[in-house]
């Protein structure tokens, strides 16, 4: 069996984690958890987020993308896949690092929900205070 050349990277966002495999010579198919990405992500905006790194470097139809993603919600999963695709593109061609970095696709978005504090209603909201 012939070994298929592919580039593997991991992307994370909030509690979502995605393993992304880029296979050169494809036709632009995106498969997420063994489903077509259009089926998995019902919203067009999420598909647009996933394709951003590929469109930036004009390689939308040169790769087949296989991703397995766990945890989080659909939006976080889409961002995790986006980071994984950008990292895999960098492995494919090191010259792509500069435009991907400038667009911010190689930076992990570290924002997560702030925890609720004891003695308070939420992370920052306090219980109502009555002076008298």
Interval 93-108: pLDDT, tens:
999 999 999 999 999 9
Domain 7-103 coded CATH 3.40.190.290: no
Q: Where are the alpha helices (DSSP H) in 10-113?
A: 37-40, 44-56, 74-92, 97-103
Average pLDDT taken over every residue of the chain: 93
Residues 80/11, Cβ–Cβ less than 8 Å? yes
> pLDDT digit string (tens) for 50-96?
999 999 999 989 999 999 999 999 999 999 999 999 999 999 999 99
Mean pLDDT value of segment 122-126: 95
> pLDDT digit string (tens) for 7-51?
999 999 999 999 999 999 888 899 999 999 999 999 999 999 999
- CA–CA dist 39, 60 (Å, integer): 19
* H or E element at residue 10: strand 7-13
Domain boundaries, the chain: 7-103
| Ramachandran bin of 16, using left for φ above 0, alpha for ψ from -120 to 50, beta for the remaining angles | beta
């Amino acid at each position: 069996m012939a070994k298929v050349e592919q580039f593997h990277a991991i992307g994370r966002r909030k509690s979502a984690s995605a393993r992304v495999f880029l296979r050169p010579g494809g036709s632009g198919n995106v498969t997420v958890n063994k489903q077509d990405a259009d089926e998995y992500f019902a919203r067009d905006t999420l598909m647009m987020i996933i394709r951003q790194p590929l469109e930036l470097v004009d390689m939308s139809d040169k790769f087949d993308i296989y991703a397995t993603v766990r945890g989080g919600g659909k939006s976080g999963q889409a961002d995790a896949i986006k980071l994984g695709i950008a990292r895999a593109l960098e492995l494919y061609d090191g010259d792509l690092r500069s435009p991907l970095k400038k667009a911010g696709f190689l930076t992990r978005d570290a924002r997560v929900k702030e925890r609720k504090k004891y003695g308070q209603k939420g992370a920052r909201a306090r219980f109502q205070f009555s002076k008298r």
